Each structure stands twice: as C-alpha cells, then as structure tokens.
Chains A and B, each alone.
Chain A
Amino acid sequence: DAGITQSPRYKITETGRQVTLMCHQTWSHSYMFWYRQDLGHGLRLIYYSAAADITDKGEVPDGYVVSRSKTENFPLTLESATRSQTSVYFCASSVSFTSTEQFFGPGTRLTVL
C-alpha cells in the first residue's frame, strides 16, 4: 500500500540550510496536508492544499514554504532550518477537508544540528 509516500525518511541537516521534504500520493486526492509532531504537542498543522496551486496556512506555518504544482506532489521546504524545526513531519491526503479520513504517510524524521 504505497498510496502516499514521503522522502527522505530520515534527514540530518545543519542550522541555516535549506531542506525540502517530499510527499507524493497516487489517489488524486484534492487535499494534502503537512503536520509536525513534537513530544507533548501531538500533530500540528503546518500547511494544507485544497488543489493544485491552492495552498493555505495552518496552525504553525512560520519558517516553512509549500508548493503544489501537481495534484500528486506537495513538497515542504524549510528555507533556513533552525533547531526548533527538529521534528517528525507527516504528510497526509484526503478527498475533502472535513468529515473524511486523512491518509497519512510514514513520516520524515528531521534533525537540525
């Protein structure tokens, strides 16, 4: 079941570097999401996208940039990584934003030194 994949699965980078996390889904779901998961906070929504070329901020968007040129891809870029962005990042997709199931990727563990 490789409907939604993330790459890389693990990444170590240094403060100030640009990092891009990739997310790809094969279901043609309209909505895609990026979350970060930190101890004690659960998952927090960073950005979401309702369709190609339509993106919007979630709860914690600062320091992140997204794009969605194709329905199936939703990359997340940290333009200048900071230690506070060390986290596990999850991508998800769904048919719609509400009342439907979100399908999650396996996660990317990012460490910023």
Chain B
Amino acid sequence: ELKVEQNPLFLSMQEGKNYTIYCNYSTTSDRLYWYRQDPGKSLESLFVLLSNGAVKQEGRLMASLDTKARLSTLHITAAVHDLSATYFCAVDMYANTGNQFYFGTGTSLTVIP
C-alpha cells in the first residue's frame, strides 16, 4: 500500500520567514498534488505536478517534484498570515480497481504576525 508522509506535521512561523514542507511517498508515481484546507472548509487545489522535475509557483508558494527521490516540496517564501491553513499533498496511483488517491498526513501551518 502506498504511504504518503509529510513533515513537519505542525509548523509555526513568523511573517516574512521562509520554510519548506516535505512530502515523501513510498512507491512509484508521477502525479502529485498539493491542496490547502482552511478550518471547517473543503480542499482547494494548489498545484498539480505531473512529471519529474516539475516546478510550479503561485504567489508565495512554490512546489516541486522529484519522482526519483519520491519527494515533493512546498516552499513558502516570506510568509504572511493569510497562508495559515493545513496543507496536504496527495499522490495518484493506478491500482487494479482504478485510480486511487492517497493523502499525506497534512501540515498545519500557523503564520504569526
């Protein structure tokens, strides 16, 4: 079974600082997704990474994918309070029953003014 692990699980950082969230997965896949979830809300799609070496950037967030290392990173630049949320990575893998989507453990980010 595919395992998807994120670290850290909890992150508290000051505004203006940089940090990276890591997502490791245990088997071959070349499709990785990042989502944001605000408290009590559904998931908002941030990035879709479809190939080795893919890099996507949106505002203060940048995501990358290394399929050989089975690693994706979500880098936060000059954090602002509005980025406080829980971030999930998810890996898409084809199984006998069809596509299956495995979520990471989530990283709860709090940005302190």
User: Does chain A bind chain B?
Assistant: no
